[in-house]
């Protein structure tokens, strides 16, 4: 296992490692140690399986929630207590911090923002339902839209880089946008508008001080932030959204790692 190899080569002595945090996407609750979306083994907690192999106390967390916590403790958050963190990647994740605490909900599954039925379409989502926000506003939707446009004959730097359309990945589209590709920029704008509609709904519900845009799509910067901001202005109640700041993640891809470490520290200290 790569984890065991990493622990072997790291400069930190094994007996100094208090615990290990594992971030996964999907429905996960640290308190039951079960991962329902990936590696679900007949009610046997995934963390216990990892612990038995590695020999270190292990805690699971939803990736977006860990990223939210990392950003809250060591990132762009500057004293704000009510914060929403969007993990914009292939899917759409949401970490909710309310009054300075991560919000889990009754069963630990809060934040299923990507699966609110906001659109009337016939696109089947990964969750099995149709019309979810993810079908029109995620990296997965962006990849589909780019492939459709290229099939219709749109020109883009992407066509020269890959021989077959299905080979075009989200990373390629992000790189193309950063390299000023018009098609990539236009379609990032389109999913940004759709995302902003969903975020306007969140702002109306939570009245947060700060909304953070993170995940791989956040590296496109203003290309995604401006259409989101414009849609928030259009769709949210101005009295509610006036005091809500919209910022990009400061930690980038390190947010989840830092969040996982800090959450393990909290749990180990609470347990001891």
From the number of C-beta atoms within 10 Å of its C-beta (0-12, 13-18, 19+), residue 231 rates as: buried
Window contacting Zn ion (CB under 5 A); options: 131-139, 151-159, 163-171, 252-260: 131-139
Asked if 260 touches Zn ion (CB under 5 A), the answer is no
**Least distance to Zn ion, CB of residue 126, Å:** 6
125 scored as a contact of Zn ion (CB under 5 A): yes
Strand 34-35 relative to strand 28-29: parallel, antiparallel, unpaired?
A: antiparallel
Residue 229 binds Zn ion (CB under 5 A): no
Contact 93, 113 (CB under 8 A): yes
The nearer residue to Zn ion, 69 or 113, going by C-beta atoms, is 113
Task: Between 126 and 254, name the residue whose CB sits nearer to Zn ion.
Answer: 126
137 interacts with Zn ion by CB under 5 A: no
Question: What's the min distance (Å) between Cβ of 236 and Zn ion?
Answer: 23
Determine, following the binding rule CB under 5 A, whether residue 27 of this chain makes contact with Zn ion: no
CB of 198 to Zn ion, least distance (A): 12
Q: Does 115 bind Zn ion (CB under 5 A)?
A: yes
Contact (Cβ atoms closer than 8 angstroms) between residue 58 and residue 47: yes
- R_g over Cα of the chain: 20
Nearest to 219 by CA among 194, 183, 255: 255
Q: Which is nearer to Zn ion, 127 or 190 (CB)?
A: 127
**In the complex, minimum distance from the CB of residue 155 to Zn ion, in angstroms, rounded to a whole number:** 32
- Residue 247 bridge partners (DSSP): 212
Residues 6+ apart with CB under 8 A from 110: 96, 103, 104
Lookup: tokens for 263 = 């959450």
Least distance (Å) from Zn ion to the CB of residue 116? 8
Question: Measured over all CA atoms, what is the biggest interatomic distance in the chain, rounded to whole angstroms?
Answer: 62
Note the residues at the interface with Zn ion (CB under 5 A).
115, 125, 127, 132
């Amino acid at each position: 296992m790569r984890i065991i190899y990493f622990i072997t080569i790291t400069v930190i002595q094994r007996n100094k490692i208090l615990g290990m945090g594992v971030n996964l996407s999907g429905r996960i609750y640290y308190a039951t140690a079960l991962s329902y979306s990936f590696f679900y083994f007949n009610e046997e907690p995934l963390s216990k399986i990892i612990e038995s192999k590695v020999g270190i106390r292990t805690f699971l967390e939803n990736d977006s929630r860990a990223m939210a916590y990392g950003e809250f403790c060591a990132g762009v958050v500057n004293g704000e207590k009510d914060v929403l963190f969007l993990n914009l990647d292939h899917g759409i994740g949401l970490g909710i911090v309310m009054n300075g605490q991560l919000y889990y909900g009754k069963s630990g599954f809060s934040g299923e923002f990507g699966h609110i039925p906001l659109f009337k379409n016939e696109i089947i989502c990964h969750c099995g339902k149709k019309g979810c926000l993810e079908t029109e506003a995620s990296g997965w939707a962006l990849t589909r839209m780019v492939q459709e446009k290229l099939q219709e004959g749109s020109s883009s730097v992407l066509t020269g880089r890959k021989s077959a359309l299905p080979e075009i990945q989200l990373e390629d589209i992000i790189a193309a946008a950063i390299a000023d590709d018009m098609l990539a920029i236009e379609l990032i704008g389109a999913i940004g508008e759709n995302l902003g509609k969903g975020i306007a709904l969140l702002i109306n519900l939570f009245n947060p001080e700060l909304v953070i845009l993170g995940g791989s799509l956040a590296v496109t910067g203003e290309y995604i932030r401006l259409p989101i901001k414009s849609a928030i202005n259009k769709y949210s109640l101005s009295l509610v959204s006036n005091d809500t700041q919209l910022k990009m993640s400061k930690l980038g891809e390190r947010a989840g790692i830092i969040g996982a470490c800090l959450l393990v520290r909290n749990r180990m200290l609470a347990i001891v």
